[in-house]
Amino acid sequence: MAKFEISGRDKDNRRKKKYVFNAFNESEARRLAETYGMVVEETKLLSSEPPTEKQLNYAKDLRIDIPPNATKDDISDLISLTVEKDKPSTERHRAFARRYMVEVTEHIGKRALFDRIHAALVKPGQEKELAAWFTYRVYRELVRGAENAPIDDPDHPVIQEVAAQLSLDESVIKSIRRYNGRDLIWFGEYTAPSGSFHTGGSNRTIAYKMASSLLRERIIIPASGNSTSSRPVSSKTNNKKPTGCLVMFLCVLVLVVCAIILLMHL
């Protein structure tokens, strides 16, 4: 991928704008700029930094296949992906990053990508965008990651409506900012198909509870078995079941009571 500096004006207020996009070619960079409401006036190809010798040696030690024409950022993301045992990101998630003007390569891991988006949105002045991203992630949890869910991005009117309300509540924004980016991949506790146990973002915070409540007022949450889902299996709820020791204690207690009643009638 290459870096392109795009200069132009906002299509609504005509203010000058300048952004840098990672894209495969100039036409893609222009298209990305236009999706962000920009009237493109000039494009400039920026020289990408080549990987350092240290990076390349480390990548080889990790047995990473180095792509042709890889940049310094490409190798950095490949190394992080391998060392942190991250899951590869999808084009869908990379599109979210580009929406928020977050620079990513096609090799970035999913957790790293969510961290970068969150780091960009927690900055002052981004409260509405932060609330929209958080609300969308809560929605994805409520529909259990269904691939055919009707809302497929943070720009949906329902998400924007909820976000507008959340962004006005300072306590909610503070609550969202306390999350880590990767916390928003999933909420609560769950067991992956491999059997490993994971803990995601808290579903007990004021931000989660309010976002969840407002979403439920506006949409119908499908039953978990009615749609295709990419959600890790065996998601755990917060309801606790009696343990084996407690059940045994109750059984013994019942036997003792029965014995006392029997003795009283002898």
Task: Give the CA angle between residues 74, 154, 177 to the nearest 5°.
Answer: 75
Could you say which of 121, 154, 174 is where a domain stops? 121
Q: Are residues 16 and 93 in the same domain?
A: no
The Cα 212–Cα 137 span in angstroms is 10
- For 99, the enclosing helix (H) or strand (E) is helix 91-99
The whole domain housing 195 covers 123-236
pLDDT at 263 over 90: no
Q: Are residues 56 and 15 in the same domain?
A: no
pLDDT tens digits along 165-214: 999 999 999 999 999 999 999 999 877 677 777 788 999 999 999 999 99
Is position 256 within any domain? no
178 CA to centre of own chain? 15
Is position 228 within any domain? yes
The Cα 87–Cα 84 span in angstroms is 9
Tell me 78's DSSP state: H
Could you say which of 121, 138, 155 is where a domain stops? 121
- For 75, the enclosing helix (H) or strand (E) is helix 72-83
Is position 243 within any domain? no
Q: How far is CA 159 from CA 90, 197, 242, 250, in A?
A: 22, 30, 38, 48
Q: What is the pTM of this model?
A: 0.71
Q: Are residues 115 and 127 in the same domain?
A: no
Is position 250 within any domain? no
User: With bands split at pLDDT 50, 70 and 90, how would you rate the model's confidence at 54?
Assistant: very high
Task: Find the mean pLDDT for residues 238-249.
Answer: 53
User: With bands split at pLDDT 50, 70 and 90, how would you rate the model's confidence at 240?
Assistant: very low
Task: Give the CA angle between residues 257, 259, 261 to the nearest 5°.
Answer: 70
The residues that bridge with 7 in the sheet, in sequence order, are: 18, 42
Q: How far is CA 253 from CA 11, 262, 264, in A?
A: 75, 14, 17
Q: Are residues 140 and 113 in the same domain?
A: no
Is position 150 within any domain? yes
Q: Which tops the pLDDT comparison, 19 or 125? A: 125
The Cα 8–Cα 183 span in angstroms is 36
Would you state the pLDDT for residue 259? 65
Q: Are residues 101 and 131 in the same domain?
A: no
- With beta carbons less than 8 A apart as the criterion, state whether 3 and 46 touch: yes
